[in-house]
């Protein structure tokens, strides 16, 4: 559990710099379990790099991890990360996507971008997105640590796609988590080593924003039914501010459970 002082420190850093790093966030047994399952999934699905510059010619990505095995269910709700995300967005935040990013040797730098730059909003703006990168290996300048540009979350525009910028590597030991404001300019780094850099991209958005990867159709209903109450809320079986996301004036969680219930809705409060 994060202390209140630690929580406030991380929130202050994100407000000021656009990012923070939580060291020693993830225990070794969790890291090992995630790494083993990811390797299994990559082999099972025979994952190969996608043929586009953004995802990387030497990078393996597995999307929609919550649908694939139980071990990923602990990631979105982690006690050292979620309170910080809730502090940035609010407790009505949602999972936007959960995927892996394995940057292999010979990978070149990913174009610098902001994760919210496809949203047609005037900048700077309140955070609509708050993303995190779990380090399953050490993240170093040489192996492709995420490149960040501190303070750019306050810029009045997004980066020009494909332009080269001066950035710094978010170096962090294995078990750390980098968390950033969705407007921060950043990108994956080049890997000049002989080893893989493995990261888990645990991305969140505000509860009133559309999720990047569709969680309600992407995760089979029978899988979602096994989720904890908080995880169900985070994938979108919930309503934001008692209204947004309702189905016929009911929370979608009641439909998930096939048990119409009494989730308080905005109409009950007026």
Q: With respect to ligand AKG, which residue has the nearer C-beta, 25 or 101?
A: 101
Sign of the CA dihedral with 98 first, then 35, 198, and 81 last? positive
Residues 6+ apart with CB under 8 A from 152: 18, 114, 159, 183, 184, 185
User: In whole angstroms, how close is the CB of 159 to ligand AKG at the nearest point?
Assistant: 12
Q: With respect to ligand AKG, which residue has the nearer C-beta, 37 or 171?
A: 171
> What is the DSSP secondary-structure string of 177-226?
EEEEETT-EEEPPP--SSS-EEEEEEEEE-TTS--SS-HHHHS-HHHHTT
> Which SS3 state, helix, strand or coil, does residue 17 take?
helix
User: In whole angstroms, how close is the CB of 6 to ligand AKG at the nearest point?
Assistant: 24
Q: With respect to ligand AKG, which residue has the nearer C-beta, 140 or 146?
A: 146
User: In whole angstroms, how close is the CB of 99 to ligand AKG at the nearest point?
Assistant: 8
**Count of Cβ atoms closer than 10 Å to residue 218 Cβ:** 16
Q: With respect to ligand AKG, which residue has the nearer C-beta, 2 or 89?
A: 89
Residues in contact with ligand AKG by CB under 6 A are 101, 110, 133, 146, 186-188, 199
User: In whole angstroms, how close is the CB of 7 to ligand AKG at the nearest point?
Assistant: 24
User: In whole angstroms, how close is the CB of 16 to ligand AKG at the nearest point?
Assistant: 21
Q: Which of 111, 174, 115, 112 is nearest to 143 (CA)?
A: 174
Any idea how long the chain is? Answer: 270
User: In whole angstroms, how close is the CB of 36 to ligand AKG at the nearest point?
Assistant: 20
Q: With respect to ligand AKG, which residue has the nearer C-beta, 78 or 186?
A: 186
- Name the phi and psi angles at 109, rounded to 5: -65, 140
User: In whole angstroms, how close is the CB of 144 to ligand AKG at the nearest point?
Assistant: 7
Q: 92: part of which helix (H) or strand (E)?
A: none
Cis bond leading into 124, ω under 30°? yes
Q: With respect to ligand AKG, which residue has the nearer C-beta, 110 or 140?
A: 110
Query: Taking a C-beta distance cutoff of 8 angstroms, is the pair 37, 69 a contact?
Result: yes
What is the rounded distance in angstroms from the CA atom of residue 233 to the CA atom of residue 199?
A: 24
Q: With respect to ligand AKG, which residue has the nearer C-beta, 7 or 165?
A: 165
């Amino acid at each position: 559990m994060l202390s209140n002082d630690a929580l406030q420190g991380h929130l202050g850093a994100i407000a000021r710099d656009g990012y923070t790093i939580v060291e020693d966030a993830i225990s070794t047994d969790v890291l090992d379990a995630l790494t083993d399952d990811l390797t299994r999934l990559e082999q099972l699905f025979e994952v190969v790099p996608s043929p586009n510059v953004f995802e990387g010619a030497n990078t393996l990505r597995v999307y929609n991890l919550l649908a694939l095995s139980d071990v990923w269910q602990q990631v979105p709700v982690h006690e050292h990360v979620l309170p910080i995300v809730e502090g940035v967005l609010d407790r009505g935040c949602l999972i936007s996507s959960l995927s892996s990013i394995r940057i292999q040797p010979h990978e070149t730098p990913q174009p610098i971008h902001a994760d919210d730059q496809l949203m047609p909003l005037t900048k700077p703006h309140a955070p609509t997105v708050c993303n995190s990168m779990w380090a399953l290996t050490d993240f170093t300048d040489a192996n492709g640590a995420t490149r960040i540009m501190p303070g750019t979350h306050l810029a009045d525009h997004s980066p020009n796609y494909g332009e080269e910028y001066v950035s710094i590597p978010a170096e962090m030991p294995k078990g750390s988590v980098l968390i950033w404001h969705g407007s921060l300019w950043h990108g994956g780094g080049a890997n000049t080593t002989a080893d893989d850099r493995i990261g888990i991209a645990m991305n969140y958005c505000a509860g009133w924003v559309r999720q990047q990867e569709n969680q309600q159709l992407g995760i089979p209903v029978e899988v979602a039914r096994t989720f904890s109450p908080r995880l169900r809320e985070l994938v979108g079986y919930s309503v934001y501010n008692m209204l947004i996301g309702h189905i016929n004036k009911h929370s979608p969680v009641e439909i998930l459970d096939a048990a119409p219930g009494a989730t308080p809705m905005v109409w009950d409060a007026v």
